[in-house]
Amino acid sequence: MKTNREDSDRSNRDYWICQLIGWGLVAVYGVVSSPYDGDFRLRLIKLLCVATAFGLSHLWRGYLRRCGWLHRNQPLPFGRIALGVAVLTLVQTAILVLLDTLVRRSKLIHDPDFNFLLVALTALWFAGFSVWTLCYAAAQSRRRAAQLELQKLEQEVSVKDTELRALQAQVNPHFFFNSLTTINSLVYQDPAAATRAIARLAEMMRYSLESGQAETVTLDQEMRAIEAYLDMEKLRFEDRLQLSIGIAPDLGLVRLPPMALQTLVENAIKYGVERSIGPCRVRIEARSEGGGSQG
């Protein structure tokens, strides 16, 4: 899963890429749309205005982040956002007039259509900053949705992992006490068999504890624990439990969740052999089909 730092770094990288591309296209359009009359001052003013708009939009982003208007799951304060865009527009328009005064000696102010041009430019910048804010809000909304989905998946994985850990850690009391009873009966009848049974029970307990610390185990490791378990049950059920194990040699290193196969075998014993009065066969097979493994 991604860490918060990685997600933040990616978000900042995407922001700067979009910021540079967006305002870069605006700058290119401003230069291309300028009349080629040999006077480069108008193009210079447009480039400077794009640069200041770039800076103002970045400051606006920082203000939005501090206020949290677009970064939280809450209704948008459209009035405050519109007021902020209006302030940006007035500042940007004032910068444009100032640049024209410094670079072109107030050519814009002396234009007969100055009032109309001023209104048009103000409306243009208001539209530009509004589109920028809308795009940023949409990006933040999409990011929040992705984060919520990721958190949901992480919670689901955490729940499944907790269930799996609980399954790995649990020792079936029924099996454990039955094993002790079997060992107790063998102590006097067949001490050698009792010794082997204790060793197999210890092997099972060790595997249960060690596998609980691992995400996956190999099929070979799982089968060694299962064989120890079945040896114990064989002492208990004798001829009633008949085993058939067929594991393809090339599947020994296939990895699977700990105790996954063990649980299936325990259920087969509990609901099959224990309830049967006659011989009952437990068959364990694993083979490879179509490039994958099948059990």
Given the DSSP bridges, would you call strands 255-256 and 217-218 parallel, antiparallel or unpaired?
A: antiparallel
Per-residue pLDDT at 23: 94
Q: What is the pLDDT of residues 134-191, one digit of tens each?
A: 999 888 888 888 888 888 888 888 887 777 666 655 555 666 777 788 788 778 888 8
Q: How many C-alpha atoms does 285 have within 13 Å on its Cβ side?
A: 7
In which band, very low, low, confident or very high, does the pLDDT at 1 lie, cut at 50, 70 and 90? very low
Please state whether the predicted TM-score (pTM) of the whole model is above 0.85.
Answer: no
41-50, 119-128, 171-180, 203-212: which range is least confident on average?
171-180
CB 254 within 8 A of CB 217: no
Nearest to 137 by CA among 74, 54, 53, 56: 74
According to DSSP, residue 104 is labeled: S
pLDDT tens profile 232-274: 888 778 888 888 888 888 888 888 887 778 778 888 888 888 8
- Greater confidence (114 vs 8) lies with 114
Residue recorded with tokens 């108008």: 42
> How many beta carbons lie within 10 A of that of residue 232, not counting itself?
22
CA–CA dist 263, 174 (Å, integer): 14
Classified as helix, coil or strand, 120 is helix
d(CA 41, CA 31): 11
Contacts of 253 by beta carbon, 8 Å cutoff, 6+ apart: 218, 219, 220
